[in-house]
Every structure is written in structure tokens, then in C-alpha cells.
Amino acid sequence: MRHPPAPRAMVVVNGDDLRHDLLSAAQVFQQLGVEAGFATRRAMGTGRFADPLPPTAQTDVFLLYTAGGQFAPRQQRALAAAVEAGKGLVGVHRANAAGHPEGTALSELFGSRSGPEGDGDGGRHTVAIAAEHPITRGVRDFDVQDTYGAVELAGDVSVLATGRGPDGAAVPVLHAREAGLGRVAYLALGHDMRSWGEPGVRALVRGALCWAAHREAPGGEPAEDRRRTDGN
């Protein structure tokens, strides 16, 4: 009896901000995609969404980790169209950041836009789960050392977790929304390995990938079906 093929995920990294280790991030998030049950490949650059080659066109869910760099408006619009047609998208840390003059398609897709990232390491603080959702299922409040900026939210997003801002006030760090036939999740956490190694952060990434791909596995637990990984 033949098993159906594993769903496909692609970790896309891009940028020129030296404060972020893109290559290590790609490896970490690829492994989390595998743990969530996806055949996962990693890729560099955002110029792949318009006129995509088969590896991109056949992907079920994208995880986007960017740190500056260029993301052309045509590519943003192509990604938005693919999600609205049914693909999933998970943005991590700075994927929705302001910084592209014509970045409206991307910010509208995420339903949010992050401001400047805070200086320093952000300190260690508690991430509080704010809502029951397939992404947060099985995940409890946890502590993390991380840094991120304030975020402006659209009215149609569901805030699922909050962290602490510089003034001590609660700041949304995880939200989700529907986009046409597709699903989008954004996680502000994930500056570096101190964050990537936290079980709570890893569980939220796995849960976001599954939910965005319409594959609602229990939150906080890796899917049982672990498949191969592909480089790019």
C-alpha cells in the first residue's frame, strides 16, 4: 500500500542585516518543518515567487525569515496571490517588517507591520498564550530571551500570544489570519539561537506550519510522519 506524499514546506531566507544568522536560521526551521511532518527544503532569496520553478510552485506552505534586503513588489504580489489561492505562509521575526517602500502587499498579507527592532538582546521574559487555537494547542506560557519591535495589527487578525515590550506592556508576538483560501501566521520571536532553542518557540513554529498548511496536528508535539529534507 502506497502512502500519500508528505506535504511540502519551503524555508525562504533573505536579507543583508548582519545581526541575523540567516544560514543557521534556515537549518533550524528546516528541521522544525521535518519534525512537523513536511518534506522541507530551504532556499535563499525572495525572487522565486513570480514565475516560480517547480520546487516553489509545488510547495504547500512557506516559512519566511528575512532580515532587510530586497523584496520586489511584483514578488510580494505573487506570494500574496499564491496564498489567497490556497497556500500557507508563516512569517518569523522580521518577515513583516517595514523597510520596503512598496511593501503594502506583504504587510496586508500578514495583517501586520513591525517597527524597528529593539537594541540589545531584549532580556528574558514570559510569552503568554492569549487564545486557544490549533497553533497554540498544548503550548503553555514560557520564558524566552528575545528581541523584537512593536507591531501594528490589522483588524482581521487573531492575537494568539503576547510578550513584553520595553515599557513592560504586553506586545502581540503571534497572530493568525485567513487570506482567501490560504492561511497566514506571524511569529515575532526568533532573533537568534537563544530563541530558536526554546521548546515553546519550536512548538509554535511547528503548529503554525501545520495550521497554515491546513494540516492541524496537535500543538506542541511533532507530527509522527517524519520525512526527508531537501537542500536547494
CATH no., domain 8-230? 3.40.50.880
* pLDDT 10s digits, 68-124: 788 888 999 999 999 999 999 999 988 887 555 555 889 899 999 876 665 445 678
Asked if 185 and 174 count as a contact pair (C-beta separation under 8 A), the reply is: yes
Determine the pLDDT at residue 6.
Answer: 87
Task: Name 159's bridge partners.
Answer: 175
> Domain limits of the chain?
8-230
Q: Work out the pLDDT band at 16, boundaries 50, 70, 90.
A: confident
Asked if 13 and 26 count as a contact pair (C-beta separation under 8 A), the reply is: yes
Determine the pLDDT at residue 127.
Answer: 95
Q: Model's pTM, two decimal places?
A: 0.89
Average pLDDT over residues 155-168: 87
Determine the pLDDT at residue 161.
Answer: 97
Q: 198-225: buried (b, 16+ CB within 10 Å) or exposed (e) per residue? A: bebbbbbbbbbbbbbbebebebbebbeb
10 or 102, greater pLDDT: 10
- Strand 170-179 and strand 182-187: pairing? antiparallel
